[in-house]
Amino acid sequence: MAVSLQPKPIVPGSQVLAYGAARGDLVVPNDDLIEPINSSDEWIQQRTGIITRTRASRDVGVKDLSLTAAREAVERSGIDIGTLDAIIVSTISFPYPTPSLATLLAGELGRPDVIAYDISAACAGFAYGIGQADALIRTGAARHVLVIGAEKLSDFVDPTDRSISFLLGDGAGAAIVGPSDEPRIGPTVWGSDGDSWNTIRMTNSLVDYRDGDGGWPTLEQDGRTVFRWAVWHTAKKIREMLEQSGLTVEDIDVFVPHQANMRIVDELAKQLKLPESVVIARDIAETGNTSAASIPLATHRLLEEGTAKSGDVLVQFGFGAGLAYAGQVLILP
């Protein structure tokens, strides 16, 4: 018997309605970290642009950071919490492989029956989440979507590691995405470079740790490889993203790349030939590299400072572990 399935309604577009943020409660200056890596404050600032980073106290978890950011985003958006139909969380530092942090947050926020899942895309994860939220809304699968990037990377730091340990911070950034009469989130450009899967990695697996074949897993990276890949590959993909959105660099008001390293941020701006008028996020100087949380935290800061404003054209682009990448052009709320 032939049947005809009823399609979901198509919504013209989606938009970010509001942001929320939570940073770690501890401010950690470079001087606190230099002895184990036999370095100096000057060396760290020259190599990364980081002056301080925020880290969370032992009793503050990824869930706590996420809830703070989520509640601010919900409140500022003005939505009825009953219209929140999906929660997407990007994190690589929630200490439970399963169940997801997203389902835990759904219960805490009073929406235990919504779509809820985690993304493991590290520094590209928030942009991955925005891309998925846009698709859920435009296909009618959700009315409003909460997207969170949250990390407590200090739980996975080896203080003696010179490749990445001094970069990392803790925090969470959140955004509420809802429907729009016209697209205010452009096409997502995303993908990965699986051939470089091991460029940013954990030192051991949990199975190795369990069996005594390795210590507690911590993060490390091949810094030079990541730098070259991030600059050349990312600049190319951002140009592709602008083209798909029908824009040029002259249309950009705000540029928020993943806050990996100030040298990468500066080199990307140079490669893209951004006009001097473009506001460039440099949140890494005070917050550090917070992986999935870095883009929403940086955006939230610019809006709070008034450096970015409603209606500005923002380009965001994330890249990280597994050399996953993702980005969009969007109009700020």
30, 261, 289, 300: the active-site residue: 289
123, 144, 261, 300: the active-site residue: 123
How big is the CA angle at 123 (ends 251 and 229), to the nearest 5 degrees?
75
Intra-chain end-to-end CA distance of the chain, in Å: 49
289 is catalytic: yes
30, 144, 258, 261: the active-site residue: 258
Which residues does 112 contact at the CB level (< 8 Å), separation at least 6? Answer: 103, 106
**Cα–Cα distance measured from residue 150 to residue 89, given in angstroms and rounded to the nearest whole number:** 7
30 is catalytic: no
Contact assessment for residue 194 and residue 324, using Cβ atoms and an 8 Å cutoff = no
The sheet that has 13-23: what strands, in order across it? 13-23, 170-180, 144-152, 84-90, 115-119
Contact assessment for residue 188 and residue 326, using Cβ atoms and an 8 Å cutoff = yes
233 is catalytic: no
Q: Write the DSSP symbol of residue 185.
A: B
| Catalytic center residues | 123, 258, 289
